[in-house]
């Protein structure tokens, strides 16, 4: 990220922040959407994160840490959004996302469905670790720094999350009651 | 059955799908609010080393060396606490100013190899620098190769129980498990730790701290039930912590029962805890206790 742009935004330059928001907005939104699995919640979280970035930018001591810092604020916003939704709309029906049918590595629509269900059973903390590591390719020590938790905690969360997702994928391999009687 | 690598590849491919562009209306809404949102500035200038005099720098450097040495000594014999690293290299840490059993790191991490543990055979591991062996009383107990022994293989045959073997002994508990607020470090005796464990908010004390023996050494045993009405998910419900970056234990399920054994092996505390889920198979807790009863220390 452009350190000069960050420096100007830190000193209240709204135009510089606008450029910054354009530069990072897509990336933050993509991450939020993958964590929350809902387009409206992701938009809310991204909006909140961008405003928090603007508000707290003067407190960022090292502009080189901007990316990790912005992801940390985004994950907090996702957590708040997820919690608010859970508290107020526990039975909210989350619609499936649009996706291509021939993505590499996904053997079937069933995989997507099972992953979607498995992922939604994870806490936001666990989802964030999976997304930062497997979507952004962030090393575990960077994930730990971004989330402000020990590396061991990240490893544990990733272990539990991937175990859950693998279990979800395996679920479609078990024969249904109907198949079992054939 | 998919391999772990195949499952990871599938998850990664799935994550690649989905939206990547932030709608202009959202960006516009943010930028509309910026002029009305004052920025928050740090109230105090950061204290940096260049601001300090030479003696202060030297004092901090010396303190850092001591801390690194102590942490190094503590972590070198790691046998795989949560996220513990691989086998330690030949230890070269300088002597600890307060000699304890843990100040003599073992040359390599020890933990049962990944896979099912044979019934009746002795399994070796090192906890807090103390070697020990144990055996399992029934089939179906599997080592994850680093820090846990599960009853069954998750998810297909998992029976709702595991024992967590931590190389680092916790020194404090969380006073707000959901807010992840650490309480201060507590006394260093098994009784102090057990008393603190018994007070973790959001849990019900099923078994108050009691005196037991493990492997012939005095120990404290505490049993907690993690309430199901916690205001955060299980993975965010923190119980206790150890110094250093690698151990903050959280409940893996709300509604689970957690048993803690704090064993005093000639002055070195060895911490063992086991968790059973609310729907654990009958007999898992009993077998867990039998594993604990089978422990033999070789300090």
Mean pLDDT of B267-285: 91
Beta bridge partners of B265: B268
Which of B19, B21, B239 is the best substitution to test chain A (most A C-beta atoms within 10 A)? B19
Instruction: Round the average pLDDT of chain B to a whole number and report it.
Output: 75
Higher pLDDT, B191 or B51: B191
CA distance, residue A51 to nearest chain B CA (Å): 6
Across the interface, do B15 and A99 touch by the CB < 8 Å criterion?
A: no
Binned at pLDDT 50, 70 and 90, residue B194 comes out as very high
Measured between beta carbons, which residues in chain B are less than 8 angstroms from residue A150?
Answer: 83, 245-248
Structure confidence at residue B80 (pLDDT): 31
The boundaries of the domain holding residue B266 are 115-297
Establish if B93 belongs to a structural domain.
no
Structure confidence at residue A39 (pLDDT): 87
CA distance, residue A102 to nearest chain B CA (Å): 10
Number of H helices, E strands in chain B: 5, 15
Across the interface, do B30 and A51 touch by the CB < 8 Å criterion?
A: yes
Establish if B125 belongs to a structural domain.
yes
Structure confidence at residue A111 (pLDDT): 75
pLDDT at A182 over 50: no
Residue B158 shares a structural domain with residue B262: yes
Q: Can you tell me whether residue B143 is helix, strand or coil?
A: strand
Q: How far apart are CA A42 and CA A81, in angstroms?
A: 8
A110-119, B50-59, B239-248: the lowest-pLDDT one: B50-59
Q: Which residues contact A147 (CB under 8 A, 6 or more apart)?
A: A72, A75, A125, A128, A129, A132, A154
Contacts 24+ apart (CB under 8 A), A37-44: A37/A94, A37/A97, A37/A116, A37/A119, A37/A120, A38/A94, A38/A95, A39/A97, A39/B19, A41/A78, A41/A81, A41/A82, A41/A85, A42/A78, A42/B19, A43/B22, A43/B23, A43/B26, A44/A77, A44/A81
Beta bridge partners of B150: B142, B162
For the segment B102-157, what is each residue's pLDDT rounded down to a tens digit?
Answer: 222 233 358 898 889 999 899 999 988 899 999 999 999 998 777 789 898 755 57
From the list B10, B42, B252, which residue is nearest A169 (CB)?
B10
Establish if B282 belongs to a structural domain.
yes
Q: How far apart are CA A18 and CA B24, in angstroms?
A: 12
Structure confidence at residue A29 (pLDDT): 96
Q: How far apart are CA B2 and CA A161, in angstroms?
A: 16
Binned at pLDDT 50, 70 and 90, residue B274 comes out as very high
Structure confidence at residue A109 (pLDDT): 66
Measured between beta carbons, which residues in chain A are less than 8 angstroms from residue B44?
Answer: none
Residue B250 shares a structural domain with residue B124: yes
CB-based contact, A101 to chain B, within 8 Å: no
pLDDT at A160 over 80: yes
CA distance, residue A114 to nearest chain B CA (Å): 11
Domains of chain A (ranges; CATH) run 1-86 (1.10.1740.10), 107-176 (1.10.10.10)
Structure confidence at residue B244 (pLDDT): 59
Of A119, A128, A120, A122, residue with least CA distance to A148: A128
Residue B121 shares a structural domain with residue B79: no
Q: How far apart are CA B252 and CA A102, in angstroms?
A: 35
pLDDT at A58 over 60: yes
Measured between beta carbons, which residues in chain A are less than 8 angstroms from residue B235?
Answer: 122-123, 125-126, 157, 160
Establish if B245 belongs to a structural domain.
yes
Beta bridge partners of B219: B212, B263
pLDDT at B35 over 80: yes
Residue B137 shares a structural domain with residue B277: yes
Residue B70 shares a structural domain with residue B19: yes
Across the interface, do A153 and B11 touch by the CB < 8 Å criterion?
A: no
> Residue A33 CA to chain centroid, in angstroms?
6
Tokens 């005093």 belong to which residue?
Answer: B264
Establish if B229 belongs to a structural domain.
yes
Of B175, B196, B174, residue with least CA distance to B241: B174
CB-based contact, A137 to chain B, within 8 Å: no
Phi and psi based region of residue B180 (left: phi greater than 0; alpha: psi -120 to 50; beta: remaining): left
Buried b (16+ CB within 10 A) or exposed e, A65-75: ebebbbbbbbb
Measured between beta carbons, which residues in chain B are less than 8 angstroms from residue A36?
Answer: none
Across the interface, do A103 and B233 touch by the CB < 8 Å criterion?
A: no
pLDDT at A93 over 90: no
By the 10 Å C-beta count (0-12 exposed, 13-18 middle, 19+ buried), B186 is classed as: middle
Instruction: Count the alpha carbons within 13 Å of B118 in the hemisphere toward its beta carbon.
Output: 5
Q: How many domains does chain B have?
A: 2
From the list A131, A160, A169, which residue is nearest B7 (CB)?
A169
CB-based contact, A72 to chain B, within 8 Å: no
* Cα torsion angle, B18, B20, B23, B27, sign: positive
Structure confidence at residue B17 (pLDDT): 85
CB-based contact, A99 to chain B, within 8 Å: yes
Buried b (16+ CB within 10 A) or exposed e, B40-77: eeeeeeeeeeeeeeeeeeeeeeeeeeeeebbebbbbbb
Structure confidence at residue B2 (pLDDT): 66
Across the interface, do B13 and A105 touch by the CB < 8 Å criterion?
A: yes
Establish if B32 belongs to a structural domain.
yes
Across the interface, do A163 and B40 touch by the CB < 8 Å criterion?
A: no
Structure confidence at residue B79 (pLDDT): 32
B49 and B57 Cβ atoms separated by less than 8 Å: yes
Measured between beta carbons, which residues in chain B are less than 8 angstroms from residue A115?
Answer: 10-11, 14
For the segment A114-124, what is each residue's pLDDT rounded down to a tens digit?
Answer: 888 889 888 88
Of A70, A89, A86, residue with least CA distance to A31: A70
Beta bridge partners of B131: B126
Q: What percent of chain B has pLDDT over 70?
A: 73
Helices (H), chain B: 4-16, 24-33, 54-75, 190-197, 284-293
Structure confidence at residue B1 (pLDDT): 60
How big is the A-B interface in CB pairs under 8 Å? Answer: 170
Binned at pLDDT 50, 70 and 90, residue B285 comes out as very high
pLDDT at A67 over 50: yes
**Pairing relationship of beta strands B257-265 and B217-226 according to DSSP bridges:** antiparallel
A114 and A169 Cβ atoms separated by less than 8 Å: yes
For the segment B205-240, what is each residue's pLDDT rounded down to a tens digit?
Answer: 999 999 999 999 999 999 999 998 887 766 678 888
Residue B147 shares a structural domain with residue B291: yes
A165 and B154 Cβ atoms separated by less than 8 Å: no
ipTM surpasses cut 0.90: no
Tokens 């807090």 belong to which residue?
Answer: B128
Residue B183 shares a structural domain with residue B251: yes
Mean pLDDT of B163-179: 86
B243 and B168 Cβ atoms separated by less than 8 Å: yes
Residue B223 shares a structural domain with residue B153: yes
* Cα torsion angle, B119, A170, B280, B293, sign: positive
Establish if B174 belongs to a structural domain.
yes
Q: CATH number of the domain that B150 lies in?
A: 3.40.1000.10
Residue B77 shares a structural domain with residue B119: no
Q: How far apart are CA B64 and CA A87, in angstroms?
A: 45
Residue B167 shares a structural domain with residue B280: yes
Across the interface, do A154 and B83 touch by the CB < 8 Å criterion?
A: yes
Closest alpha carbon within chain B to A121: B233
CA distance, residue A159 to nearest chain B CA (Å): 10
CB-based contact, A26 to chain B, within 8 Å: yes
Mean pLDDT of B287-293: 97
| pTM to 2 decimal places | 0.46
Measured between beta carbons, which residues in chain B are less than 8 angstroms from residue A124?
Answer: 233
Residue B64 shares a structural domain with residue B119: no
CA distance, residue A154 to nearest chain B CA (Å): 8
Higher pLDDT, B198 or A145: B198
């Amino acid at each position: 990220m452009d350190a000069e742009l960050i420096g100007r935004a830190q000193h209240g330059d709204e135009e510089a922040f606008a450029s910054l928001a354009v530069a990072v907005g897509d990336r933050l939104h993509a991450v939020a959407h993958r964590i929350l699995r809902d387009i409206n919640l992701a938009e809310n979280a991204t909006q909140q994160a961008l405003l928090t970035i603007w508000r707290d930018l003067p407190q960022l001591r090292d502009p080189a840490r901007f990316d990790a810092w912005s992801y940390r604020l985004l994950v907090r916003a996702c957590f708040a959004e997820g919690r608010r939704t859970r508290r107020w709309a526990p039975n909210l029906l989350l619609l499936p996302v649009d996706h291509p049918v021939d993505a590499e590595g996904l053997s079937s629509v069933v995989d997507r469905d099972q992953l979607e269900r498995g992922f939604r059973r994870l806490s936001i903390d666990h989802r964030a670790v999976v997304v930062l590591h497997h979507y952004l390719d962030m090393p575990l020590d960077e994930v730990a720094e971004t989330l402000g938790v020990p590396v061991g905690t990240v490893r544990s969360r990733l272990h539990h999350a991937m175990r859950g997702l693998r279990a979800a994928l395996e679920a479609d391999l078990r024969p249904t009651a109907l198949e079992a009687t054939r | 059955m998919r391999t772990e690598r195949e499952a990871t590849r599938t998850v990664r491919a799935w994550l690649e799908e989905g939206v990547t562009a932030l709608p202009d209306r959202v960006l516009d809404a943010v930028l509309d609010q910026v002029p009305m949102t004052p920025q928050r500035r740090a109230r105090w200038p950061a204290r940096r080393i260049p601001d300090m005099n030479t003696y202060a720098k030297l004092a901090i450097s010396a303190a850092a060396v001591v801390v690194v040495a102590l942490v190094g000594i503590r972590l070198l014999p790691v046998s795989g606490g949560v996220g513990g690293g691989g086998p330690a290299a030949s230890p070269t840490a300088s002597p600890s100013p307060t000699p304890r059993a843990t100040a003599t790191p073992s040359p390599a991490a020890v933990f049962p190899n990944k896979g099912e543990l044979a019934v009746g055979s002795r399994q070796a591991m090192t906890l807090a620098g103390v070697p020990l062996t144990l055996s399992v009383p029934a089939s179906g107990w599997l080592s994850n190769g680093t820090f846990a022994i599960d009853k069954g293989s998750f998810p297909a045959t998992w029976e709702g129980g595991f024992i967590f073997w931590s190389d680092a002994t916790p020194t404090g508990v969380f006073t707000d498990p959901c807010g992840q607020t650490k309480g201060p470090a507590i006394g260093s005796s098994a009784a102090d730790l057990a008393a603190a464990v018994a007070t973790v908010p959001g849990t019900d004390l099923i078994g108050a701290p009691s005196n037991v023996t493990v492997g012939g050494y005095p120990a404290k045993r505490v049993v907690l039930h993690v309430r199901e009405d916690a205001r955060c998910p299980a993975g965010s419900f923190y119980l206790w912590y150890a110094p250093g970056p690698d151990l903050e234990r959280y409940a893996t399920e709300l509604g689970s029962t957690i048993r803690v054994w704090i064993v005093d092996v000639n002055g070195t505390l060895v911490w063992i805890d086991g968790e059973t889920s609310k729907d654990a198979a009958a007999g898992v807790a009993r077998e867990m206790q039998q594993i604990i009863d089978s422990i033999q220390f070789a300090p």
